[in-house]
């Protein structure tokens, strides 16, 4: 286990005694000082296996077939994103990865969709090429979103807020699930590319169930370490929105994906970015401010924070 990253039991927080709940909150907050924590979950293993099976079938298709499922103007919020597009902020070389993105759709007349159409695009999934993928990925998205919502209840208590502090904030938010394929590095067009260069996520928290192979590295105390969660655990890492809300008490978890030395294979993973609703005003909560921790961040609307990051990583489209 990477130094400082703890393994906690979400179900003990939900079902255990007061003493057990307090122990989980304490472990989560101590671990999130690194930006990362491992947690047990009740995510069905067969749901993850089924999702990987259909996603691998999609990524194995010819490039021209996959391009049919791009979503121009969606800024990576749905559909297929090709290799060498997303570029970590501050990097000159794009990541050596391709992606499929999806979210829970909102009705056309929903005020969030009317106000922020760029964050709630019409969903595009490759149902025509991989029958059954839409329903299964919808089930998967909802299961992970529920897990993240529940985990935020632990974080809320640790921040000194009511347990339900994040409930309204994440309800009908543009939470995004992303499947990634990292091709063999020997196929990269030039030296210097990484599967994914060092970056921090913009959102509140990100959930990473088990991937098909190693490669994820996390930065803890200035050192890059392999992320090695116990079997069956989900990795939770923190994003810039949570760092702002907690006034820096919970820092952003910086990470990268690097092909193992001498490795020749590819890697698949599925992650979900839990967002705040775009009209949320992100400002430090009073319980995280005080004489020993003066307010560090000003307020910003969640939609504006997200748009700036999409621009910096080369996903914002005109």
pLDDT in tens, 178-190: 999 999 999 999 8
Is there a contact between 240 and 309 (Cβ–Cβ < 8 Å)?
Answer: yes
Is there a contact between 285 and 246 (Cβ–Cβ < 8 Å)?
Answer: yes
Q: How is domain 7-312 classified at the architecture level of CATH?
A: Sandwich (2.60)
Confidence of residue 1 (pLDDT cuts 50, 70, 90): very low
d(CA 216, CA 167): 29
Please state whether the predicted TM-score (pTM) of the whole model is above 0.85: yes
Q: What phi and psi values does residue 36 have, to the nearest 5 degrees?
A: -145, 155
- The reported pLDDT for the residue numbered 276 is 98
What mean pLDDT is predicted for residues 153-174? 98
Confidence of residue 264 (pLDDT cuts 50, 70, 90): confident
What mean pLDDT is predicted for residues 143-158? 98
pLDDT reading at 318 higher than 70: no
Helices marked H in the chain: 10-15, 18-31, 45-59, 63-67, 111-115, 133-158, 167-170, 240-245, 302-312
- The reported pLDDT for the residue numbered 2 is 52
Is there a contact between 182 and 256 (Cβ–Cβ < 8 Å)?
Answer: no
What mean pLDDT is predicted for residues 271-278? 98
List of E strands, 112-261:
176-182, 196-199, 205-208, 216-220, 223-226, 234-238, 255-257
d(CA 41, CA 48): 12
């Amino acid at each position: 286990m990477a130094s400082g990253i703890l393994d906690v039991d979400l179900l003990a927080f939900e079902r255990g005694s007061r003493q057990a709940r307090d122990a989980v909150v304490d472990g989560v907050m101590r671990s999130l000082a690194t930006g990362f924590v491992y947690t047990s979950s009740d995510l069905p293993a067969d749901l993850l296996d089924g999702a990987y099976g259909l996603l691998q079938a999609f990524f194995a298709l010819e490039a021209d077939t996959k391009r049919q499922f791009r979503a121009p103007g969606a800024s990576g919020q749905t559909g297929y994103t090709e290799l060498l597009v997303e570029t970590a902020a501050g990097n000159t070389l794009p990541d050596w990865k391709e992606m499929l993105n999806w979210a829970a759709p909102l009705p056309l007349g929903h005020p969030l969709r009317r106000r922020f159409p760029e964050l709630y695009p019409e969903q595009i999934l490759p149902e025509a090429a991989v029958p059954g993928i839409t329903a299964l990925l919808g089930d998967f998205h909802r299961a992970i979103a529920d897990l993240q919502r529940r985990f935020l209840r632990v974080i809320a208590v640790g921040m000194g807020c009511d347990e339900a502090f994040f409930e309204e904030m994440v309800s009908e938010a543009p939470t995004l699930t992303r499947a990634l394929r990292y091709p063999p590095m020997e196929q990269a067009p030039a030296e210097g590319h990484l599967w994914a260069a060092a970056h921090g996520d913009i959102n509140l928290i990100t959930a990473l169930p088990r991937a098909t192979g190693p490669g994820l590295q996390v930065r803890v105390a200035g050192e890059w370490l392999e992320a090695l969660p116990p079997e069956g655990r989900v990795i939770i890492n923190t994003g810039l929105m949570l760092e702002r809300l907690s006034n820096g008490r919970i820092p952003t978890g910086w990470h990268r994906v690097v092909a193992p030395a001498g490795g020749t294979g590819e890697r698949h993973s599925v992650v979900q970015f839990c967002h705040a609703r775009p009209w949320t005003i992100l400002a430090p909560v009073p319980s995280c401010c005080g004489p020993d921790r003066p307010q560090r961040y000003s307020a910003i609307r969640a939609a504006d924070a997200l748009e700036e990051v999409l621009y910096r990583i080369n996903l914002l489209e005109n």
